[in-house]
């Protein structure tokens, strides 16, 4: 444990999820670890938020004691508080660094990426999960096979099932697959910061009752072109990321486990520098190397008579006080404005134009925080490089609104078919 003497400057580490909750008439600050390094959240009374905000790595223990002396903070109380945070690996200390290394080493040795959200977002028992999906999906069904169909691109949300199950249902009721040999790329938003734009993994993905086998040969080829270090330096983010995982129970429900179908999981990082114009994807070496490698892989797979398809787990706008907006976004007039802008975005998506998509997001500096656009931009660029047009169709559009916290998240289901 760190030595919190007067000169020590404690700092909350990153990434962390901070939120508030009400319980029995009191408000609390909740600090969670999205990496799963600390499985227990810190639940703190809201009165301590000013102190937490000063854990910035620049303010010493001695200065904190002076600043909060009139609030009743004592040396013993501060030491106990910092020690508690450190024991939960929430401070940027050697304890956290050591635990992070242990967690990464343990994860790297696994062959299967185990479900991180079963028992939280969906049941962790196969029978119970199938019963729930059956209630949402209707009668037992399998995805319709389309003999000789062109490549397809699908988009479902990655929001929790409680808010998004109708959209998931609408997409997977229309889902169609190809018989025979197929490689499906599973793409999702990476909500954690990292060093690379695209984060690959050779691990199979597991959900209750089903293992989705990763095509290690395809991953190897893709990583050779993109670069080994780039490909796997951030693989650890797959461990707890939900954007791919939440597709899988539905995909398992509607598609058979037999046949020669394998998968390639890819998490897509932030395109913030592209939006701000600090980097240009048209001549960015990292971006272009991934698209070039993916294009070559698609052509190679097709040359071996594999069908190639893409399924994306993406949400859209994230607005409101909870996301840093000063203006209230959850009233009716604002929701209409958000939908109008979202519809403009979706119209561009239907056309499959990468340039128009980036221009739309950059126009207002990504004011709506559209977390799914980097993945769609990458897909549109891929099909443009393949010289294949995309014909898109909107399946459904939704807004999840929490007026109490002024939180608005929007999402949609879409499908595209490629043509030569």
Total H helices, total E strands in the chain:
14, 16
Q: Where are the domains of the chain?
A: 17-104, 117-419
Query: Which pLDDT score is estimated for 52?
Result: 93
Please give the distance of CA 156 from its chain centroid, rounded to a whole number.
Answer: 12
Nearest to 269 by CA among 371, 365, 342, 395: 371
- Bridge partners of 212, per DSSP, are 205
Model pLDDT for residues 105-119, shown as the tens digit of each residue: 999 999 999 999 999
pLDDT for 3 beyond 80: no
Question: In 53-152, where does DSSP find H-type helix?
Answer: 61-67, 75-87, 94-108, 126-137
Mean pLDDT of 331-346: 95
Model pLDDT for residues 262-318, shown as the tens digit of each residue: 999 999 999 999 999 999 999 999 999 999 999 999 999 999 999 999 999 999 999
CA dihedral 100, 266, 169, 401 (to 10 degrees): 60
Say if CB 154 and CB 414 are below 8 A apart.
yes
184 is written with which tokens? Answer: 């499906």
Residue with tokens 């791919």: 244
344 is written with which tokens? Answer: 């403009």
Nearest to 376 by CA among 155, 151, 152: 155
CA gyration radius for the chain?
23
231 is written with which tokens? Answer: 């490909």
Say if CB 16 and CB 33 are below 8 A apart.
yes
Nearest to 261 by CA among 414, 401, 143, 119: 143
Query: Which pLDDT score is estimated for 134?
Result: 93
Query: Which pLDDT score is estimated for 281?
Result: 95
Say if CB 221 and CB 297 are below 8 A apart.
yes
| Helix, strand or coil, per DSSP, at residue 185 | strand
Residues 6+ apart with CB under 8 A from 36: 103, 116, 239, 240
Model pLDDT for residues 202-248, shown as the tens digit of each residue: 999 999 999 999 999 999 999 999 999 999 999 999 999 999 999 99
- Bridge partners of 148, per DSSP, are none
Determine the straight-line distance between the first and last CA of the chain, rounded to whole angstroms: 61
Higher pLDDT: 398 or 24? It is 398
| Helix, strand or coil, per DSSP, at residue 37 | coil
265 is written with which tokens? Answer: 């999981």
How many degrees, rounded to 5, is the angle at CA 408 between CA 403 and CA 157? 135
Query: Which pLDDT score is estimated for 205?
Result: 98
Query: Which pLDDT score is estimated for 71?
Result: 87
Q: How far apart are CA 278 and CA 272, in angstroms?
A: 9
| Helix, strand or coil, per DSSP, at residue 47 | helix
| Angular region, 219: left φ>0, alpha ψ -120 to 50, beta rest | alpha
**3-state per-residue secondary structure call for 262-293:** EEEEEEECCCHHHHCCCCCCCCCHHHHHHHHH
pLDDT for 323 beyond 80: yes
Query: Which pLDDT score is estimated for 142?
Result: 57
- Backbone phi, psi, residue 210, to 5°: -155, 140
Q: Please tell me the least confidently modeled range out of 36-40, 344-348, 398-402.
A: 36-40
Higher pLDDT: 150 or 277? It is 277
Query: Which pLDDT score is estimated for 146?
Result: 56
- Backbone phi, psi, residue 297, to 5°: -65, -45
Higher pLDDT: 140 or 290? It is 290
Mean pLDDT of 9-16: 92
| CATH assignment, 117-419 | 3.40.830.10
Query: Which pLDDT score is estimated for 145?
Result: 57
pLDDT for 349 beyond 70: yes
Q: Considering the chain, what is the average pLDDT of its residues?
A: 92
Model pLDDT for residues 372-392, shown as the tens digit of each residue: 999 999 999 999 999 999 999
Query: Which pLDDT score is estimated for 20?
Result: 80
Mean pLDDT of 322-336: 89
- Backbone phi, psi, residue 173, to 5°: -70, -25
Q: How far apart are CA 138 and CA 31, in angstroms?
A: 38
Q: Please tell me the least confidently modeled range out of 66-75, 308-317, 338-347, 375-384.
A: 66-75
Query: Which pLDDT score is estimated for 250?
Result: 96
């Amino acid at each position: 444990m760190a030595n919190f003497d007067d000169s020590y400057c404690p700092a909350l580490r990153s990434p962390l999820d901070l939120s508030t909750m009400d319980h029995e008439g009191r408000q609390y600050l909740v600090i969670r670890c999205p990496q799963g390094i600390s499985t227990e959240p810190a639940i703190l009374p809201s009165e301590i938020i000013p102190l937490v905000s000063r854990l910035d790595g620049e303010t010493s223990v001695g200065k904190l004691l002076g600043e909060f002396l009139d609030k009743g903070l004592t040396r013993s109380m501060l030491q106990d508080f910092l020690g508690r945070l450190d024991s939960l690996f929430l401070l940027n200390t050697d304890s956290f660094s050591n635990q992070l290394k242990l967690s990464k080493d343990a994860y790297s040795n696994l062959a299967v990426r185990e479900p991180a959200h079963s028992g939280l977002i969906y049941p962790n028992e196969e029978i119970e999960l199938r019963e729930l999906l059956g209630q949402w999906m209707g009668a037992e069904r399998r995805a319709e096979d389309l003999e000789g169909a062109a490549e397809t691109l699908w988009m479902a949300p990655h929001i929790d099932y409680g808010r998004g199950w109708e959209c998931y249902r609408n997409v997977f009721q229309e889902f169609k697959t190809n018989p025979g040999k197929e490689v499906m790329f599973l793409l999702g938003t990476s909500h954690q910061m990292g060093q690379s734009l695209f984060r690959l993994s050779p691990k199979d993905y597991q959900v209750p009752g089903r293992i989705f086998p990763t095509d290690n040969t395809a991953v190897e080829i893709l990583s050779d072109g993109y670069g080994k270090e780039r490909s796997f330096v951030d693989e650890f983010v797959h461990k707890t990321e939900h954007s791919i995982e939440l597709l899988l129970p539905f995909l398992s429900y509607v598609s058979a486990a037999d046949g020669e179908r394998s998968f390639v999981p890819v998490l897509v990082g932030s395109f913030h520098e592209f939006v701000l114009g600090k980097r240009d994807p048209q001549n960015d070496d990292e971006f272009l190397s991934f698209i070039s490698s993916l294009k070559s892989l698609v052509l190679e797979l097709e040359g071996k008579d594999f069908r190639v398809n893409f399924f994306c787990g993406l949400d859209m706008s994230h607005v409101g006080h909870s996301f840093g907006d000063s203006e209230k976004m959850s009233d009716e007039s604002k929701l209409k404005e958000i939908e109008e802008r979202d519809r403009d975005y979706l119209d561009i998506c239907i056309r499959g134009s990468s340039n128009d998509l980036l221009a739309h997001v950059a126009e207002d500096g990504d004011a709506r925080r559209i977390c799914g656009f980097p993945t769609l931009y990458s897909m549109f660029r891929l099909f443009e490089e393949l010289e294949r047009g995309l014909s898109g169709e909107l399946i459904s559009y939704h807004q999840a609104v929490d007026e109490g916290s002024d939180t608005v998240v929007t999402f949609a289901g879409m499908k595209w078919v490629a043509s030569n």
